[in-house]
């Protein structure tokens, strides 16, 4: 990969993707796409309408019986061709994510592009091996695709979040209408370029770009959508659940988080801090699983704060296309302002600033916020309770393991977390006590086949692996 690469050329798109072809939108209105590293508008996409959603849902409905009846190995072959077509666009995907989201190119290549390719690969294998039918007494238990899926995705991992829905839905035999985030629609278009190349049957996957209140609501409320699969904020998830409840449609929700990184007294502190800071700042902190609360045993607290400050000092802000940049901007001016408001509130609440803060130097333009660390954060304070979704870390001391677990679980969220200890059994015991969907012990690697999703207000249901495919199925019992 050439790290001096330039932004991609194609930044304006004029069509929807419906019934296997690029289609004219019903309205001439458009949504601008901005480069958050400069604040300049770099392109635009159609502002979809409820009428566009109707067309796309009708196409998905028409395609459903044929796709549901397609043999598993043929569905796998389609997904395999899609993987090949997407992989051929890896450089363009990374450059597009760097341009419309501001993720540094190296990370955009490794995570924003590499991860969805890995997930899509795993779905090729899972599509070929559907859940086996079995008998219970006189019943034959079968799994069937749920039907037409409305997929609504956020901007923070613009290809991964889409692939984590579209690929398992297709593997299960469902058809899909996608509404990507209006902040980062261009990356989703590259998936549809790949879908065109791969020759997926018409109507199996459809694209309607546009805003949440218009296209998102129309999709979530559509009477012919059987399951709404949503990733985004808890507030929007609640709204989508309400809309789906009106017609008792299924919903899968992947929402926010405020994950705890528990560093026990006997931990390898330099590693725990280095990995913990890296996790909290990943993608400028715009990561739902970010370990944004670092809980450190009192005996190691002062030492940990020195290590945190030193680690944060190594994160250079700047142009996402500059190979020396480790942190890009926030995704939008509104997101940057929200993060600054959280920082101001933490200062007002008496948290101790250890790094960054409102006066730290920033690049001259773009939506940048300095990586910021607060110590002595009260576990009940806004900073410890609210999802910031920016490069802001709260460090909290604890006296013993019970207190660490109590603080970790003192959250309305429960998406991810971590535990560090020289005693792996002790770490595992803490992991078991944490009310959260994923826990990494001593830096355990991300597993794309493991179930991903949240307890409490972090969501409903699971994505990825066989668990992710199951979300898109119904169970049927046939008595004989």
Residues in the site for ligand NAD, rule: CB under 6 A?
A: 152-156, 161, 179, 181-182, 211-213, 216-217, 220, 231-233, 236, 239-240, 254-257, 288, 387, 389, 415, 454, 458-459
Q: Minimum CB separation from ligand NAD for residue 207, in Å?
A: 12
> Which is closer to ligand NAD, CB of 413 or CB of 420?
413
Lookup: tokens for 237: 């998830």
Copy the structure tokens of residue 43. 């392109």
Q: Between 47 and 343, whose beta carbon lies closer to ligand NAD? A: 47
As measured in angstroms, the least distance from the Cβ of 164 to ligand NAD is 8
DSSP secondary structure of 347-386: HHTTPEEEE--TTS---SSSS----EEEES--TTSHHHHS
Does residue 44 carry a catalytic annotation? no
**DSSP letters along 85-146, please?**
HHHTTHHHHHHHHHHHT---HHHIIIIIIHHHHHHHHHHHHHHHSPPPPEEETTEEEEEEE-
- Residue 313, Cβ neighbours under 10 Å: how many? 11
299 DSSP 8-state letter = G
Rank residues 379 and 468 by Cβ distance to ligand NAD and give the closer one.
468
Torsion sign across C-alpha atoms 228, 253, 288, 34: positive
Whether 471 sits among the annotated catalytic residues: the reply is no
CA dist 228 and 230 (Å) reads 6
CB 465 within 8 A of CB 167: no
Q: Which neighbouring-strand residues pair with 152?
A: 179, 230
Which C-beta is closer to ligand NAD: that of 100 or that of 254? 254
Q: Which of 92, 288, 387, 471 is catalytic?
A: 288
Least separation in angstroms between CB 178 and ligand NAD: 10
In 363-400, which positions are buried (b, 16+ CB within 10 angstroms) versus exposed (e)?
beebbbbbbbbbbebebebbbbbbbbbbbbbbbbbbee
Cβ 31 to ligand NAD shortest distance, Å: 10
Residue closer to ligand NAD by CB (options 44, 182) is 182
Closer to ligand NAD by CB, 100 or 217: give it. Answer: 217
CA distances from 306 to 48, 120, 269, 369, 443 (A): 50, 41, 11, 21, 20
The single residue of 254, 386, 387, 463 carrying the catalytic annotation is 254
Residue 184 CB, shortest distance to ligand NAD, in Å, is: 9
Q: Report the alpha-carbon distance of residue 128 to residue 126 in Å, rounded.
A: 5
Catalytic residue positions, numbered? 254, 288
């Amino acid at each position: 990969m050439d790290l001096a690469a330039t932004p991609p050329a194609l930044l304006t798109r004029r069509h929807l993707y419906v019934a296997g072809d690029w289609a004219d939108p019903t309205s001439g209105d458009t949504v601008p796409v901005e480069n958050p590293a400069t604040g300049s508008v770099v392109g635009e996409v159609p502002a979809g309408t409820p009428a566009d959603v109707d067309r796309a849902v009708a196409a998905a409905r028409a395609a459903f019986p044929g796709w549901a009846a397609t043999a598993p190995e043929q569905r796998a072959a389609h997904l395999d061709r899609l993987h090949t077509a997407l992989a051929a666009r890896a450089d363009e995907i990374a450059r597009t994510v760097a341009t419309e989201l501001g993720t540094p190119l190296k990370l955009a290549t490794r995570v924003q592009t590499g991860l969805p390719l890995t997930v899509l690969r795993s779905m090729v294998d899972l599509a070929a091996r559907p859940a086996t039918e079995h008998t219970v007494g006189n019943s034959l238990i079968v799994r069937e695709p749920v039907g037409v899926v409305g997929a609504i995705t956020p901007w923070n991992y613009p290809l991964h979040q889409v692939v984590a829905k579209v690929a398992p839905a297709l593997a299960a035999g469902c058809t899909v209408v996608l509404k990507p985030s209006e902040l980062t629609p261009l990356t989703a278009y590259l998936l549809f370029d790949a879908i065109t190349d791969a020759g997926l049957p018409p109507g199996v996957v459809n694209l309607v770009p546009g805003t949440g209140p218009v296209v998102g609501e129309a999709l979530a409320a559509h009477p012919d959508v059987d399951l709404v699969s949503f990733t985004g904020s808890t507030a929007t998830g609640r709204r989508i659940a309400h809309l789906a409840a009106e017609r008792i449609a299924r919903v899968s929700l992947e929402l926010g988080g405020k994950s705890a990184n528990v560093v026990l007294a006997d931990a390898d502190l330099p590693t725990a801090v280095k990995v913990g800071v890296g996790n909290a700042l990943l993608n400028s902190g715009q990561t739902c699983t970010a370990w944004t609360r670092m809980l450190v045993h009192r005996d190691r607290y002062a030492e940990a704060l020195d290590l945190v400050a030193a680690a944060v000092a190594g994160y250079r802000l700047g142009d996402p296309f500059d190979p020396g940049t480790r942190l890009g901007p926030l995704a939008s001016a509104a997101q940057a302002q929200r993060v600054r408001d959280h920082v101001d509130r933490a200062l007002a609440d008496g948290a101790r600033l250890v790094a960054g803060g409102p006066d730290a130097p920033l690049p001259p333009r773009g939506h940048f916020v300095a990586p910021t660390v607060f110590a002595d954060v009260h576990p009940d304070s806004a900073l410890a309770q609210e999802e910031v979704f920016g490069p802001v870390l709260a460090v909290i001391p604890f006296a013993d393991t019970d207190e660490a677990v109590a603080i970790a679980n003192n959250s309305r969220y429960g998406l991810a977390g971590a535990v560090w200890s020289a005693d792996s059994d002790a770490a595992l015991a803490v992991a078991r006590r944490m009310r959260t969907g994923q826990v990494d012990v001593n830096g355990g690697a991300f597993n794309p086949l493991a179930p991903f999703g949240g307890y409490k207000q972090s969501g409903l249901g699971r994505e990825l692996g066989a668990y992710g495919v199951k979300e898109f199925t119904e169970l049927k019992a046939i008595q004989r």
